[in-house]
Amino acid sequence: MLLPVIVALNVSNVLVYSATAGYRHDSIPTAISELTRRGPDYGINFINTEDMTLFNDRYLSQFDAVFFLSNTDEVLNSSGKAAFQKYLDRGGNVVGVHAATNCMLRRSCFYSSGSQFQGHPAFTNATMVVLDMIHPSTAGLPPRWNVTDEIYNFVTDPRDLGAVVVLSADESSYRDPSRGQSAQGDPHPIAWYQERHTGTNSTGLVGRSWYTGLGHAAAAWKDDVFMSHILGGLAYVLASNTTRAMNPDATVGSLGPKYTPV
């Protein structure tokens, strides 16, 4: 399958992968539409696919980041996982949103950007607490940010893998009967980053990762504050200096206007 790409110099290519093999979020089409609409203002060329066969070395090599959008269960086959592993080993960056921590759980440890989804209470109003007012993904947020979302619990503390948590949930602001079963640490992690993605085998160029547990409802993707959170996270990973958009010596990333469809 050919995917049309029109790229200008200094524009980053981001592959949005939205395939699901389990529960499918109704917000996915809205998320793709809003990312595509807003991308040019941020110098980002978003390409969306749900075709796992495009996870091959040649196709992935043109992207500065891969954006996992609310994926569930096993959404890549063995060859796709191998190609994605190679992409990470060559300096590729990765972003995960919402249910992205609930895919490829058992056989793809390299995918994890810090932890895995455990569960969540009912869709609820809750208050998020910004822990880092400077990071691009949180700089545009109020210090205490009221959201209506699914507030995820995680199996382990992402800080155990070197992640830096930039956004946490105020656990007193909502009710969650199952919260005590989680080993996610305190404060309750919601969004975090890794300067060097732990899923790579490389000792050279290592890309960045960023994840947020928010983004369940379509309405969030229409909200400017929420989108500043998402696009700020993307801006952070794209500034890694490990892909061609920023580093002429890199081996993956945007090739500018000379893109050839695969």
Residue spans per domain, the chain:
12-117+187-252
- The type of residue at 181 is Q
To which CATH superfamily is domain 12-117+187-252 assigned? Class I glutamine amidotransferase (GATase) domain (3.40.50.880)
- DSSP readout, the chain? --------TTPEEEEEE---SS---TTHHHHHHHHHHHGGGGTEEEEEE--GGG-SHHHHTT-SEEEEES-EE--S-HHHHHHHHHHHHTT-EEEEEGGGGEESTTT-GGG-SS--EEE--SSEEEEEEES-SSSTTTTTS-SEEEEEE---EESB-GGGGT-EEEEEE-GGGS--TTGGG-B--SSEEEEEEESS-TT---SS----EEEES---SGGGGG-HHHHHHHHHHHHHHHTSS-STTT-TT-SSS--GGG----
Phi, psi of 187 (to 5 degrees): -70, 160
| CA distance to 1, 31, 67, 118, 223, per residue, from 45 (Å) | 19, 15, 12, 32, 20
Q: How far apart are CA 191 and CA 164, in angstroms?
A: 9
- The type of residue at 259 is Y
Point out which residues pair with 211 in neighbouring strands.
Answer: 96, 192
Per-residue tens of pLDDT for the chain, all 262 residues: 333 333 334 689 999 999 999 999 999 999 999 999 999 999 999 999 999 999 999 999 999 999 999 999 999 999 999 999 999 999 999 999 999 998 875 445 455 678 888 889 999 999 999 999 999 999 999 999 999 999 999 999 999 989 999 999 999 999 998 766 778 999 999 999 999 888 777 777 889 999 999 999 999 999 999 999 999 999 999 999 999 988 888 999 987 543 344 4
pLDDT at 23: 93
Bin 93: left if φ > 0, else alpha if -120 < ψ < 50, else beta.
beta
Q: How far apart are CA 209 and CA 200, in angstroms?
A: 11
| CA distance to 2, 115, 131, 173, 216, per residue, from 245 (Å) | 23, 28, 29, 41, 30
Q: How far apart are CA 120 and CA 101, in angstroms?
A: 12
Q: How far apart are CA 70 and CA 216, in angstroms?
A: 8
Its pTM surpasses 0.85: yes
Rg (CA), the chain: 17
